[in-house]
């Protein structure tokens, strides 16, 4: 289980290696994504609070990166944070997410990105529920829900 100390360590000493890399030109990303998905994932945008498709979705499945389909989060660790964005306590694997210090807008935060394609997902904070105390605050537009098989 990742902790805040692990997250800070990644921002200072480097991220875990991804299982694979996906790299595309800006033109390829623009052709693949909607305008809003492109703005959020490639230009580090943010959707308005309480507007994202996955804010109140609690269906079973895996939340994958909208850009490269890399599995990011499992529905079993999603929780209602009341912040207006989908929130998770842990990534699906320790190397699914890339972490960088973000000092934009006069704040110090930790940005989370897909470790496979560098898509901006959102931020992680140390104010989540036990036992990890992590809250991954993620834009709905950066993920797609892949429902689990019911058979």
Is 120 contained in some domain? yes
Q: What is the pLDDT of residue 105?
A: 84
114 assigned to active site? no
**Chain segment 14-38, per-residue pLDDT in tens:** 999 999 999 999 999 999 999 999 9
Is 131 contained in some domain? yes
CA dihedral 76, 81, 84, 87 (to 10 degrees): -40
Locate 14 and state its tokens.
């480097």
CATH code for position 105: 2.170.150.20
Q: What is the pLDDT of residue 151?
A: 36
Q: How many domains does the chain have?
A: 1
Catalytic residue among 65, 114, 117, 137: 137
**Chain segment 4-13, per-residue pLDDT in tens:** 999 999 999 9
Is 20 contained in some domain? no
Tens of each residue's pLDDT in the chain, 151 residues? 999 999 999 999 999 999 999 999 999 999 999 999 999 999 999 999 999 999 988 899 999 999 999 999 999 999 999 999 999 999 999 999 999 999 988 889 999 999 999 999 999 999 999 999 999 999 999 999 999 733 3
Q: Which DSSP category does 127 fall into?
A: -
Is 18 contained in some domain? no
Is 19 contained in some domain? no
Q: What is the DSSP string of 24-92?
A: --HHHHHHHS-HHHHHHHTT---PPTT-STTSS---SEEEEETTT--EEEEGGGEE--SSSS-EESS-S
Q: Are 132 and 3 in contact (CB under 8 A)?
A: yes
Is 80 contained in some domain? yes
3 state SS of 4: helix
Is 63 contained in some domain? yes
Structural domain that includes position 95: 4-13+25-147
């Amino acid at each position: 289980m990742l902790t805040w100390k692990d997250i800070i360590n990644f921002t200072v000493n480097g991220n875990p290696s991804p299982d694979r890399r996906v790299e595309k030109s800006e033109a390829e990303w623009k052709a693949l994504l909607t305008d809003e998905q492109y703005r959020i994932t490639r230009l580090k945008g943010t959707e308005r609070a309480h507007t994202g498709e996955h804010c109140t979705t609690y269906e079973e499945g895996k939340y994958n990166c909208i850009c490269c389909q890399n599995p990011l989060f499992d529905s079993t660790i999603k929780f209602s944070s009341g912040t207006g964005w989908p929130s998770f306590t842990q990534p699906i694997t320790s190397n699914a997410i890339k972490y960088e210090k973000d000092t934009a807008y006069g704040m110090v935060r930790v940005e989370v990105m897909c470790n496979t394609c560098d898509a901006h997902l959102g931020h992680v904070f140390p104010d989540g529920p036990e036992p990890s105390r992590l809250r991954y605050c993620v834009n709905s537009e950066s993920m797609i829900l892949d429902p689990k098989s019911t058979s």
